[in-house]
Amino acid sequence: MFDILADRTYRHLFLAQVVALLGTGLATVALGLLAFDLAGDRAAMVLGTVFTIKMVAYVGIAPVAGAFADRVPRRAFLVSLDLVRAGVALALPLVTEVWQVYTLIFLLQSASAAFTPTFQATIPDVLPEEARYTRALSLSRLAYDLENIASPTLAALLLAVMSYNSLFLGTVAGFTASAFLVVSVLLPSPKASEPRGIYDRTTRGLRIYLATPRLRGLLSLNLAAAAAGAMVLVNTVVLVRGSLGLSESALAWTMFAFGTGSMAAALTLPRALDVLPDRPVMFAGAALMVVTLFGLGMTTFATDLGWPTLLGAWILIGLGYSAVLTPSGRLLRRSAHAADRPALFAAQFALSHACWLVTYPLSGWLLTVFGIIPALMGLALLAAAGMLAALKFWPSSDPVELEHTHDNLPLDHPHLKGHRRHSHPLIIDERHPRWDTHF
């Protein structure tokens, strides 16, 4: 996996991703503490709104940015977006009102929503070989998992000697370093795709995604992961600082527990997936999250919530969370032609964040209005619903390839290329959906 770092261009881009993720992780901890200072016990509602704003930006802007990522000067665009994000992070310690937080977060996440699809569209051009690109995707996932551990750990160490507002300066440094790393390399010139209308360019990936049974199942599992993840990301600050009355450092260590579980799964999954299909691994992860949420709710109902219990639950949820999300890239690669993969990954980015758009505000609202136990039980039920929907949409007999004919396509369709019958890893559906939704 790590041999691809010998490529200087990719190495700089990967390091840019790592430092930007580290800065974002520091901002996540700092935002939780800032929300608690501004809103007290209503911090969960504030954080829920903040994360909702983030998802609105991701869902609305990412598909458009992804559709036109091959038509802009990528290096200048990526550097500009990094500098915008650094400027917004620099302003966050100065806020005194909740609405100011909302405005700045919208600007920050809008820039991130444009940055991420453009960055992802650049990697296949830097590493055109399929095997090297696949390793790059795995390394990227590992970077996200490492960030879940490194950022809370660094935040805990920094909070021991400085105020939480100083963490935002770490965010500024992360985005600035990312800009310098991107500008230090020459990126391949964008390769413009065949001319299409704006509607077709921005919806093509969504139409492929929603026509593929295994990807409809993936979307349902994304909902389960978002329900459990929202409980962790939105409500941990209130559980630790409010209900348990613990320190700021305890908040960072509690988030560290979630990251530890996610990392443990990420390190063991490659070997597990060598012998097990994706489907049972992902459903096992979803089931673990559901059972853990229900179990924590029942435990809290029977006895007072304890920090060790919370840490253990967050580790288990991290395990299940990573087990659901890590194999998702394999499903996406299996479900489309190489030319359609950027659009399909952009669709996954938008649709998965649409799930968070539902669960973030729901999580904060349930805890603020009804309390800890209803929040845990409500999100557990939502995660269970997502898992059950995935069982319906994604058949257990789902093959990697499906032999099919293209008799309903015109003879000059580019997909035929002189063949009338073949197998390839495209849309798998017993009803064989209309091909114009795939091509």
Closest CA to 216 of 428, 64, 430, 435: 428
* Number of helical H runs and strand E runs in the chain: 14, 2
Domains of the chain as residue ranges with CATH: 2-393 (1.20.1250.20)
Contact criterion met (CB below 8 Å) for 212 and 335: yes
pLDDT for residue 328: 81
- How much of the chain, in percent, has pLDDT values that exceed 70? 80
| Angstrom distance (rounded) from CA 289 to CA 221 | 11
What contacts 58, CB < 8 A, 6 or more positions away?
109, 112, 113, 349, 350, 353
Q: How many CB atoms lie within 10 A of CB 201?
A: 19
pLDDT at 353: 83
pLDDT at residue 140, rounded to an integer: 74
The pLDDT value given to residue 148:
61
Query: How does pLDDT run across 168-196, given as a tens digit for each residue?
Result: 888 898 899 999 999 988 877 655 556 56
The answer to whether residues 112 and 88 touch, using CB atoms and an 8 Å cutoff, is no
The tokens for 117 are 């699809």
pLDDT per residue of the chain (439 residues) written in tens, 0 to 9: 567 788 888 888 888 888 888 888 888 788 878 888 887 777 777 877 887 787 788 887 777 766 665 667 778 888 988 999 899 888 888 888 888 888 888 888 888 877 877 787 677 778 777 567 666 766 776 777 676 667 777 777 777 777 778 888 888 988 999 999 999 888 776 555 565 665 666 677 788 888 889 999 999 999 999 999 999 988 898 898 888 888 878 887 888 888 888 878 877 877 787 788 889 999 999 999 999 999 999 998 888 888 899 999 999 999 999 899 878 877 877 787 656 666 777 788 888 888 988 898 899 899 989 989 999 999 999 999 999 999 999 988 765 554 444 344 344 433 334 333 444 444 433 333 333 333 2
Q: Which of 55, 123, 73, 154 is nearest to 352 (CA)?
A: 55
Are 365 and 45 within 8 A, CB to CB?
A: yes
- 170 Cβ partners below 8 Å, 6+ apart? 22, 23, 26, 154, 158
For 65-111, how does the pLDDT look when each residue is reduced to its tens digit (9 = 90+)?
666 656 677 788 889 889 998 998 888 888 888 888 888 888 888 88
